Amino acid sequence: MDVEMLSRKERRAYDFVVKSGAVTRARLKSVGIEVRFANSLVACGLLAWDGKSYRDAEKKAPEAKEEVTEATGGCLCGCGAELAAKRRFAQGHDAKLYSSVLKVARGQAAKSTLPATSATVAYLRGAPWMTAEIRKAIGL
Ligand SMILES: [Zn+2]
């Protein structure tokens, strides 16, 4: 299918998506373009639909940008170490956090010694060694 063969409305949808990069259905509607024109462009291979947005089928999808927003921002043990993407702990610091948690659970350290960031709390809730007893003791 050639771009020159598109109807005027399909062409408008095509140009808009190509110009904008990635376009959601809501964005299309907001500029008065009907989603069905974009869908027919997907059907003929001019646009790609990734479940969230339309883009130029010729262009590669950007490499998973979302990971950046999910970065923890640092080691979950609370030491402040900066980590490479996708890493939760600096080397050996998962054990350090585990030991801190046990100390609190045994009453040997104050609860305030544990990092209270949402990322750490989320990790602790699903930690492989977490037990109902420890959870209760540290107030999770
Ligand atoms: Zn650490």
d(CA 113, ligand 1 centre) in Å: 13
d(CA 24, ligand 1 centre) in Å: 39
d(CA 99, ligand 1 centre) in Å: 12
- The residue with greater pLDDT, 86 or 67, is 86
pTM of the model: 0.49
d(CA 90, ligand 1 centre) in Å: 5
What is the per-residue pLDDT across 83-99, written as a single tens digit (0 to 9) for each? 888 889 999 999 999 99
Share of the chain above pLDDT 70, in %: 89
Mean pLDDT in residue range 38-56:
92
d(CA 131, ligand 1 centre) in Å: 22
Task: Tell me how far apart the alpha carbons of residues 44 and 46 are, in angstroms, rounded to a whole number.
Answer: 6
Nearest to 23, CA basis, from 62, 53, 63, 50: 53
Minimum mean pLDDT among 19-23, 61-65, 134-138: which range? 61-65
d(CA 110, ligand 1 centre) in Å: 18
What is the per-residue pLDDT across 48-59, written as a single tens digit (0 to 9) for each? 999 999 999 987
CA 65 to chain centroid:
8
User: Do 18 and 28 meet the contact criterion of CB atoms below 8 Å apart?
Assistant: no
Give residues with Cβ within 8 angstroms of 106, minimum separation 6: 137
d(CA 132, ligand 1 centre) in Å: 24
